[in-house]
């Protein structure tokens, strides 16, 4: 498993119909990020997450991409 609880992820585009429950990255709902809330023992849909829009859904590991937090802009970092 490449993900762990607390990881921030995005849904790969064009896998599901773009909706508030399945917000494709860069789709109609913008760039909504999800946070993994649990890893389930189900062999197909293992990852439960909560999207920033408060929707909750379950996905396969292959449906998601990890968001690299080191690339996110940090406006309050000391220089």
Per-domain boundaries in the chain: 8-68
Instruction: Give the model's confidence band at 64: pLDDT under 50 very low, under 70 low, under 90 confident, else very high.
Output: very high
Residue 31 clears pLDDT 60, i.e. is over it: yes
pLDDT at 50: 98
pLDDT at 79: 53
CA–CA dist 73, 5 (Å, integer): 22
Average model confidence (pLDDT) across the chain: 88
CATH topology of domain 8-68: SH3 type barrels. (2.30.30)
| Mean pLDDT for the stretch of residues 75-79 | 57
| Mean pLDDT for the stretch of residues 30-53 | 94
pLDDT at 34: 96
pTM: predicted TM-score of the whole model, two decimal places: 0.81
Phi and psi of 70, rounded to 5°? Answer: -70, -15
| Mean pLDDT for the stretch of residues 40-50 | 94
Calculate ∠ Cα 54-31-15, nearest 5°.
90
């Amino acid at each position: 498993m490449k993900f762990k609880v607390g990881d921030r992820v995005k849904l790969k585009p064009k896998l599901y119909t773009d909706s508030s429950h399945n917000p494709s990255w860069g789709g109609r709902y913008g760039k909504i990020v999800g946070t993994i809330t649990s890893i389930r023992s189900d062999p197909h849909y293992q990852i439960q997450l909560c999207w920033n829009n408060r929707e909750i859904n379950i996905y396969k590991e292959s449906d998601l991409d990890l968001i690299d937090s080191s690339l996110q802009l940090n406006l309050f970092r000391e220089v």
